Amino acid sequence: MAQYSAQLDGLFDALADPTRRGVIRRLGRGPASVGDLAGEFPMTLPSFLKHVRALESAGIIRTSKTGRVRTCVLNRERLALAEDWLAEQRRIWEERTDRLEQFVAGTEEDQS
């Protein structure tokens, strides 16, 4: 359980930055070189590489180098971890609101 929590923490920490979310959005359309990705953001390449490393450390992207070109690919399986957690939270809250609705409906019937 602690390992799962740590994985989620790292994942959501990486997703907290708008630049990183932009990279993920772009990689959702397919692989891209670091140079192509960096061209879409108003920052220096060294600053952009910090974002790439953060995404790679979180397991959200994978990179490979061919010659002088480093290509980034989205790791959709890793994003599924966040999707699963969010689905579980949705289920919990839907159950709670269903119980609240039943409680309110029962209270209204008792008052009639």
pLDDT over threshold 70, residue 112: no
Q: What is the pLDDT of residues 1-57, one digit of tens each?
A: 566 777 889 899 999 999 999 999 999 999 999 999 999 999 999 999 999 999 999
Q: What is the pLDDT of residue 72?
A: 98
CA separation for the pair 79, 92 (Å, rounded):
20
Q: Find out whether 11 and 78 touch, Cβ atoms under 8 Å.
A: yes
Q: Please give the structure tokens belonging to residue 19.
A: 């630049």
Q: Domains of the chain by range and CATH?
A: 2-80 (1.10.10.10)
Nearest Cα neighbor of 60 from 4, 3, 13, 2 is 13
54-74 pLDDT, tens digit per residue, is 999 999 999 999 999 999 999
Q: Which contiguous run of DSSP H or E holds residue 60?
A: none
- Per the CB < 8 A criterion, the answer to whether 73 and 62 are in contact is yes
